[in-house]
Structure 1
Amino acid sequence: MGFIQEFKKFALKGNVVDLAVAVIIGGAFGKIVSSLVNDVIMPPIGLALGGVNFKDLMVVLKEPSVSPDGVGLAAVAIKYGNFLQTVIDFVIIAFVIFMAIKAMNSMQKKEEAKPTPPPAPSKEEVLLTEIRDILKAK
């Protein structure tokens, strides 16, 4: 089998396609959650904390300066506010995924709990039952 055919067989397997779709949807879902955190959740929390914008929270290690050559040097800072916002994003995403998996598991349990009717007797079983009933009748 040639390399191209082997790659085509691999790429078109259901699992690879499902994984690609999951990655694309996951990326879009991540953007939605980031927007939820940045635009909906964090502003009221910042307002409740006295108008703090979490992205602005940082510890400045070195103030911005200008070198002797006239080149501007950026400040060196630990931006813990941005980190906090990313942690909140993660917690929300993890919670939503947990709830989705929990819902899927409960639906799967309901499917498994449904009683399945016994299979219909085979032709041989029906024939043997008729023979038994005839012998009983004699």
Structure 2
Amino acid sequence: MWKDFKEFAMKGNIIDLAVAVVIGGAFGKIVTSLVENIIMPLVGVLTGGIDLTKSFVYGSGEAQIQLGVFLQSILDFLIIAFAIFMALRIMTKLTRKKEEAVVEEPTPELDAKEELLKEIRDLLKQEKA
């Protein structure tokens, strides 16, 4: 059983997935910080000081429905999703350009027989002309 697990864990796809999850989590924290510390304060200034996390609170005492925090989370998600989409789009374009630059039509190499046949063909064309 340990051998099977080790083979499964060491496959390239699993390791790539693990790296992607870690990098995605770190990228998510960066974008969340961008939203909370830069974008939302600007939105608050533009809307006259509205802070969604403190607005739209319903209920009393400990039993409160914080609709503003929920709306903030939705906005965070949309901005994070858009940022990841843009990053992936840029990375895809860069990899496509690299792939297009690398892919070239290889010129077929002629062996000795084919070379002789080409010469004979060319000589026959010259005799007819």
- TM surpasses 0.5: yes
Counterpart of 1:67 in structure 2 is none
1:8-23 superposed matches below 5 A: 8-23=6-21
Asked if 1:94 is matched to 2:81, the reply is: yes
TM-score using structure 1 length:
0.73
C-alpha separation in 2, matches of 1:22 and 1:42: 28
Gaps of 5+ in 1: 65-73
User: What SS is found at the alignment partner of 1:78?
Assistant: strand
1:74-118 Cα deviation digits (max 9, x unpaired)? 2x2221211121112111111122212322333344345445132
Q: What is the aligned-residue identity percentage?
A: 43
CA RMSD of aligned residues (A): 2.4
Paired residue secondary structure (1:60): strand
Gap runs ≥5 in structure 2? 125-129
Q: 1:57–1:81: 8 Å Cα contact kept in structure 2? A: yes
Aligned match of 1:69 = none
Q: Which has the higher contact order (CA 8 A, sep 6+)?
A: 1
Alignment of 1:123-138 (within 5 A): 125-132=110-117
Give the TM-score normalised by the residue count of structure 2.
0.78
Aligned length: 122
